[in-house]
Chains A and B, each alone.
Chain A
Amino acid sequence: MQALLAFENAPPFTAPLRFFLTAPLFGVLAGLLVAFEGADLFASRWSPGALAATHLITVGFMLQIMLGALIQILPVVAGANLKRPLLVARLVHVGLSTGALLLAVGFLFELPAFLGGAAALLGVTVLFFLAATAAALAGVPSTSPTIRGIKLALVGLFCVVGLGIAMALALAGAWSLSLPELADLHAGWGLGGWAAVLLAALAYVVVPMFQLTPAYPARSSWWFPVAMLLMLAVWSVALLFEQSVPARLAQFGAALLGIAFAMQTMRLQAKRRRARPDATYRYWQFGLIASVLALVMLSVVAWWPEAGELPGWSLLFGILLVAGGFLPFMTGMLYKIVPFLSWMHLQNYGQARIPAPAMNKILAEPGMWRQMLAYFLALALLLAAVFFPARLACPAGLVFAVANGWLGWNLLGAIKRYRSHFADITLKLATS
């Protein structure tokens, strides 16, 4: 308790930063893969290219940012201090990035040994991360929906990785499993139990914080994470006993919960008191609309399973939810977090004697807006490529790669300005 809230325990900037700067590279890789594989990738969600691209994005981009962000915010929102945050960040970053690459190569070239290696490496890395965060969170009471949401999301992370390892072993020939159903459940735990619960837990803090909206109602923010995990638990048990009706009902329940959360966030944002819409706000609005559309598709499949067999249906759903929903949420947050952390570290370094430049001097608005338009164009092309793969797969992949490269470029620019201000402050501190 003594050290609580002390700056010395706040992780150094390089701890989360390495994750934030690596993630866009995986976005570029995924885009290039789509461009290179072209129409073959769009043949089905099970095509080697589609599986590889999906995991470049979900593990290489999403998981990367989520773990980096958790390392940063656990001390702030939960007062949970990781022991040796820089060491944890280094190990997790290397394990995760290497694992994501191995996994993509394993899928793309259908190499069971690579899949097995990736599963082992990602499994060890995530278990290590979970052990480090569990140790930090032990004894932290769940006094806010955010703290409880984070704890529950970590359960989801454990489940998605466990299922992923089981499937990788099955693909490597170790044992036989019914893979398509298991893959759906794996995606459910990953996107619902882990990503959506973590997103909601953080949204309870950052939506009111960035936009000055009213707070989320206490009751729904308390129940959303529990209800989501409950749906996934029902789905898992139903699958275990090969009961398709409860499994579909649970999918429907999870979809409804997601829609309810998105609608609630839209309602709050409509009451925001910041005067200007900024790139983060636009990214969020866009992500909320795309997620609702995707979740409506999921609800339809729950009642009418044949819809899932329609050509392009599952690809469309996946692109809308992941590239249309989650990625915009994360990019929007990076555009606030990176300049703010730059400012904060400069401010602390200058010991309040030498002022730090404001956030818009570190990462200027126009660059973010242009990158965002490029990203929206990439998404439109990806969605259209589901219907016209021969013509549009290649340009869609290229624009997606450009938009992600641009994101990386914007963040790097911010870090370059951070470094030059840092050098400036060093000089001024030495001479003052």
Chain B
Amino acid sequence: MTTIRSFMTDDHRRCDDLFAEAEQAVAKKDFELAQAAFGHFRSAMLAHFAGEENTLFPTFEARTGMSMGPTQVMRMEHVQLRSLMDDGMAALQAGNADDYLGLADTLVIMMQQHNMKEENILYPMCDQHLSDELPAVLERLESELSEE
């Protein structure tokens, strides 16, 4: 059965794949390809954030009344991730591999520990609290994630 946890986790893995493509391109010093790949990665991430911030988090907050809890922390981490991605894009546009790789290292860990908290803690909480409206929430998320 598809759950919020499995669906959103799969999307995290898809973003990881896109990130890896960008890094491979940087390693080959192909900055044009790297910019394109990083651009795909960033749009996928932004679509994922949008799905969470516009659909998943508000639904969870409305149901549980927890508006200053985990979802708030996740929103703050989204802000940090957005800014890291902007810096990464700028480094690629400037052709600065060293800056990019340093940012990429930071971005990877930030992104992975963020994903881990969502996958292990927040998504299971969502599945638990939103069990009766699961199909509707999943459908909305699905359409939002495809709008990159």
Least CB distance from B109 to A in Å reads 5
Q: Quick check: A4 and B112 within 8 Å, CB to CB?
A: no
Q: Which A residues lie within 8 Å of B73 (CB)?
A: 5-7
Question: Of the candidates B27, B87, B117, which one forms a contact with A5 in the assembled complex, judged by CB atoms under 8 Å apart?
Answer: B117
Q: CB-nearest residue of chain A relative to B86?
A: A355
Mask for A210-236, Cβ within 8 A of B = 1, else 0? 101000000000000000000000000
CA distance A144 to B117 in the complex (A): 12
Q: CB-nearest residue of chain A relative to B80?
A: A347
Least CB distance from B63 to A in Å reads 13
CA distance A278 to B27 in the complex (A): 13
Within 8 A of B (CB), among A353-388: 355, 358-361
Q: Which B residues lie within 8 Å of A1 (CB)?
A: 66, 69, 125
Q: Quick check: A352 and B103 within 8 Å, CB to CB?
A: no
Among A130-138, A247-255, A292-300, A336-344, the stretch that binds chain B is A336-344
Mask for B15-40, Cβ within 8 A of A = 1, else 0? 01101100110110000000000000
Q: Quick check: A276 and B121 within 8 Å, CB to CB?
A: no
Residue of A2, A336, A344, A359 most packed against chain B (CB within 10 A): A359
Q: Quick check: A209 and B106 within 8 Å, CB to CB?
A: no
Q: Quick check: A5 and B122 within 8 Å, CB to CB?
A: yes
CA distance A7 to B72 in the complex (A): 10
- Is A390's beta carbon under 8 Å from chain B? no
Q: CB-nearest residue of chain B relative to A5?
A: B70
CA distance A84 to B111 in the complex (A): 27
Least CB distance from A6 to B in Å reads 6
Q: Which B residues lie within 8 Å of A358 (CB)?
A: 87, 99, 102-103, 105-106
Mask for B102-116, Cβ within 8 A of A = 1, else 0? 110110111011001
Question: Which range contains the number of A residues in contact with the other chain?
Answer: 35 or more
Q: Which A residues lie within 8 Å of B27 (CB)?
A: 275-276
Within 8 A of B (CB), among A1-47: 1-7
Question: What's the dominant secondary structure at chain B's contact region?
Answer: helix
CA distance A431 to B136 in the complex (A): 48
- Is A49's beta carbon under 8 Å from chain B? no
Question: Which range contains the number of B residues in contact with the other chain?
Answer: 35 or more
Q: Quick check: B69 and A340 within 8 Å, CB to CB?
A: no
Q: CB-nearest residue of chain A relative to B69?
A: A2
Q: Quick check: A143 and B120 within 8 Å, CB to CB?
A: yes
Known: A344-B110, A355-B87. A275 touches B121 (CB 8 A): no
CA distance A336 to B105 in the complex (A): 9
- Is B142's beta carbon under 8 Å from chain A? no
Known: A3-B69, A79-B120. A359 touches B106 (CB 8 A): yes
Least CB distance from B104 to A in Å reads 9
Q: Which A residues lie within 8 Å of B76 (CB)?
A: 7, 352
Least CB distance from A244 to B in Å reads 43
Q: Quick check: A275 and B23 within 8 Å, CB to CB?
A: yes
CA distance A76 to B114 in the complex (A): 9
Least CB distance from A353 to B in Å reads 10
- Is A77's beta carbon under 8 Å from chain B? yes
Please list 5 pairs of residues, one from A and one from B, whose beta carbons are closer than 8 Å in the complex, sorted by A's number.
Answer: A4-B121, A6-B72, A273-B17, A273-B24, A275-B26
6 new A-B pairs (CB below 8 Å) besides A276-B101, A278-B105, A340-B110?
A76-B117, A79-B120, A209-B112, A355-B87, A358-B99, A358-B105
Q: Which 4 A-B pairs have the closest CB atoms?
A: A360-B102, A275-B27, A273-B20, A358-B102
